[in-house]
Amino acid sequence: MLIDLKKCIGCDYCVYACQAINDVPDDMRWNVHFVDKTETGNVFHITRPCMHCQDAPCVSVCPVVATYVREDGIVIMDYDRCIGCRYCQVACPYGARTFNWESRDGASGYQAQWGAAEVERRARGVVEKCTFCVHRIDRGLANGLVPGVDRAATPACVNICPVEARVFGDLKNPDSKISRLIATQPTFRLREDLGAEPNVYYIPPEGMSL
Amino acid sequence: MSTASQPIETTRGAGASLPIFPIWLGILGIMLVIGLVSAAFVLIEGLEVTNLSNEVPWGLWITIDLAAIALGAGAFSLSAIAYILRVKSYERIARVAVFVGLTGYTSAMLALVMDIGRPDRFWHPTVYWNIHSVLWEITMCVIFYSMVLGIEFGPLVLESNLVKSRFKAGPRIAHQLHRLTPVVAIVGLGLSLLHQSSLGATYGVLVARPIWFKPSLPVMFIVSAVAAGAMFTLAMTVFYETLRRERVITLQLRNSVAAFGGLTMLAYLYLKLWDYLATTYYSHLPARIDDLNLLARTTPYSSSFWLVEVLLGALVPAVILLSPRLRRFDAWVIVAGVAGRGRDHRQPLERDALWVDRAAGLVAGRGGGLPHQQLSTRAGRVGRGDWRAGLCLDDVHAGVALPATLPG
């Protein structure tokens, strides 16, 4: 995924769409938004989904392989295997994981406005995280769609963005839109120094030099 | 002064008439009831009742689990001295240590079952292996080591009058188990060295948590566990002697174990000193310094480090146990054992979690994964709920700053 901080206006649509489609309550958001300032004083908005790291710290610490990196690079959870030790939560450098401290009644509350939930609610006692809407990707690929091009095979946060700040696609394919953008634009990733090889790239906002 | 199995000369006139043992059993009973009620509460209501949060996913709880495992350290180190180095006189205290270890490990396992979100899946690590996970290695070690403790403890049960009278083959099986003791002690030593160290590595490998991320943690954990394990076993022995009003170990053995515990604690302090100097005084990893500064600014972190951990938790017990004058007194030996135990190396982690909790999510269970004056004011403003954003702010700062410093 590529997030263009030059374009992001901080509308929070991606946050809400994610909460609707994945049925995520407010205190467990998978995708968060915050405001920051560049060194030159420019205010900018940034959103943070799971980074889907290729050398993910959360994956290597899990004692039961309840979370893993798929061949296509997406990091997902097996909610039926997770024992709820929360080591992955402690290990994630980005705070991208949340734990189900209690069982939840009712939906997250965003469905009426932002779309029906497409995945099952997670049980009490397991960790959960952003999946890049993997259910859409898998169903889409099975039907010959291209994730990032066909909306039915694209994450909810990407589809909803009114300014097209989020670009999704296959980083392994050099001809995909996302690969071409990364090849031509200056981009950075969060905490590259940690060596986790995150798969979410950012185009810096105005006033930030790389 | 006294030899094995001799009555203690009572010097406490009034206390002597009190039925101390039944009173102690009563206290234990009350604590057991409180524990059972709390356990039921957690299992029914879920971890929500612990006040842990997504900002502090690991808190005091995990510290208690780990501390209970350190109890077992006495079992492996004292057993190794008794059965591998064949220091006969240590066999008496090794038996106590095995019992203390067994209670420590069983309570740790029970506490861990409470501490995971899905207690019904506690067996998953035995089936779904992730050999890259320190936590998996610990889980397997703890399971196997509990078996070792069972084999070591079995003969004591089988030879007891209660079992002997009902189960004729008991003593024979006990004898066979006894013959295994040296082998079992070696296996136990290996398993203990592994997991007592990797408990430290659990924190030490977390690259994203700069206060914890260092190769010294596994070493400090094993040394502090050996020290605290011996000290605590000795304290429990002396406590038991006080309850029963009879000596079970000789003064010579008592002095020897006390010196062993005290000296190991001094070795630990030496490591701790260099750990502190190397990571805090002589080097300046920005993320680590920022975290420590934030902790120092918002919590009593510095004073608790020097006063509670170094002075009260390590130096005082070491002095008591190494001083022939002080270690003569039962009370001092018990104080030293409990203080040293309370300290061992888990405490800094506990403090991280605890202070961090008090700092209202500023540094968050990130154990100090955090930083920044700017961040803390901001986090303070948006409050705990949105704190997660705080972490990311830091990531952005680092993420933005780093490419700037890289050539090309």
pLDDT of chain B, 408 residues: tens digit per residue: 344 455 555 444 444 567 888 888 899 899 888 888 888 888 898 888 887 888 778 766 676 677 778 767 888 999 999 988 999 999 999 988 998 898 888 888 888 888 899 999 999 999 999 999 999 999 999 999 999 998 888 888 888 878 878 888 888 888 888 888 889 989 999 999 999 999 888 888 988 888 888 888 889 888 888 988 898 899 888 888 888 888 888 999 999 999 999 999 999 889 989 998 998 899 988 878 877 777 777 767 777 778 877 888 788 888 988 988 888 888 878 877 776 654 444 444 544 444 433 332 223 223 222 222 222 222 222 222 222 222 223 333 333 322 222 222
Q: What is the distance between the alpha carbons of residues A26 and A12, in angstroms, rounded to a whole number?
A: 12
Amino acid in position B395:
D
**DSSP structure class, residue A34:** E
Question: What's the confidence (pLDDT) of residue B9?
Answer: 53
User: Across A7-77, where does the E strand assignment appear?
Assistant: 32-37, 43-48, 67-69, 75-77
* A172: its two tokens: 């392994």
- Nearest C-alpha in B relative to A34: B389
pLDDT at A147: 96
Residue in A15, A195, A37, A190 with CA at minimum distance from that of residue B375:
A37
- Taking an 8 Å cut-off on Cβ atoms, the answer to whether B402 and A209 are in contact is no
Query: Do β-strands A97-99 and A127-129 pair in parallel, antiparallel, or remain unpaired?
Result: antiparallel
Q: Which residue has the higher pLDDT, B379 or A53?
A: A53
Confidence at residue B6, expressed as pLDDT on a 0 to 100 scale: 57
* Chain A, window 139-168: residues with a beta carbon less than 8 angstroms from a chain B beta carbon: none
Pairing status of strand A2-4 against strand A201-203? parallel
Q: Give the integer Cα–Cα distance in Å for A39 and A57.
A: 30
User: Does A94 reach chain B within 8 Å, measured CB to CB?
Assistant: yes
Cα separation, B392 vs A94, whole angstroms: 6
- Cα of B63 to nearest chain A Cα, Å: 13
Task: Please report, for residues B43, B199, B217, the alpha-carbon distance to residue B202 in angstroms, rounded to integers and kept in the order given.
Answer: 25, 5, 9
User: How confident is the model over A197-201, as a mean pLDDT?
Assistant: 96
- B383: left (phi > 0), else alpha (psi -120 to 50), else beta? left
**Which of B308-337 are b and which e, b meaning 16 or more Cβ less than 10 Å from the residue's Cβ?**
bbbebbbbbbbbbbbeeebbeeeebbbbbb
Spatial separation of the C-alpha atoms in residues B230 and B253, rounded to whole Å: 12
Given this model, what pLDDT does residue A146 score? 96
Residue of chain B whose Cα is closest to the Cα of A203: B400
* Chains A & B: contacts with CB separation below 8 Å: 164
List the single residue in A with minimal CA-CA distance to B121. Answer: A83
Are B346 and B63 in contact by the 8 Å Cβ rule? The answer is yes
Residue A150: what residue type?
A: D
Instruction: Please report the pLDDT score of residue B7 as a whole number.
Output: 58
| Window 190-249 of B, Cβ < 8 Å to A | 202, 205-209
Contact B130 A65 (CB under 8 A): yes
CB–CB of B365 and A82 under 8 A? Answer: no
β-bridge mates for residue A201, sequence order: A2
Report chain A residues whose CB lies below 8 A from the CB of B372: none
Q: How far is A32 from chain B (nearest CA, A)?
A: 7
CB contacts under 8 A, A 34-53 vs B, are: 34, 36, 38, 46, 48
Structure tokens belonging to residue B166 = 């009902």
The count of C-alpha atoms lying within 13 angstroms of the C-alpha of B141, restricted to the half-sphere facing its C-beta, is 23
Q: What are the E-state strand segments in chain A?
A: 2-4, 32-37, 43-48, 67-69, 75-77, 97-99, 127-129, 166-167, 201-203
Instruction: Look at B398 and A191 and tell me if their CB atoms are within 8 Å.
Output: yes
Residue A150 distance to chain B (closest CA, Å): 30
User: Strand pairing of A32-37 and A43-48?
Assistant: antiparallel
* Cross-chain CB nearest to B395 (options A81, A84, A93): A93
Task: Indicate the pTM of the whole model.
Answer: 0.84
Q: What is the distance in angstroms between the Cα of B349 and the nearest Cα belonging to chain A?
A: 13
The distance of A210 to chain B (nearest Cα, Å) reads 5
DSSP letter, residue B128? S
Q: How far apart are the first and last CA of chain B?
A: 76
Q: Are B69 and B108 in contact (CB under 8 A)?
A: yes
- In whole angstroms, what is the distance from residue A142 CA to residue B131 CA? 33
Per-residue pLDDT, B128: 96
Please state the φ and ψ torsions of residue A181, each to the nearest 5 degrees: -65, -45
Q: Amino acid identity of A164?
A: E
ipTM: 0.92
CB B69 within 8 A of CB B196: yes
Q: Which residues of A160-182 are buried (b: 16+ CB within 10 A; e: fewer)?
A: bbeeebbbbbbbeeeebebbebb
Q: Give residue B358's pLDDT.
A: 33
Q: What is the CA radius of gyration of chain B?
A: 23
Beta carbons within 8 Å of B394's beta carbon, 6+ residues apart? B370, B371, B372, B375
Contact B124 A81 (CB under 8 A): yes
Tell me, what's the pLDDT at B8? 59
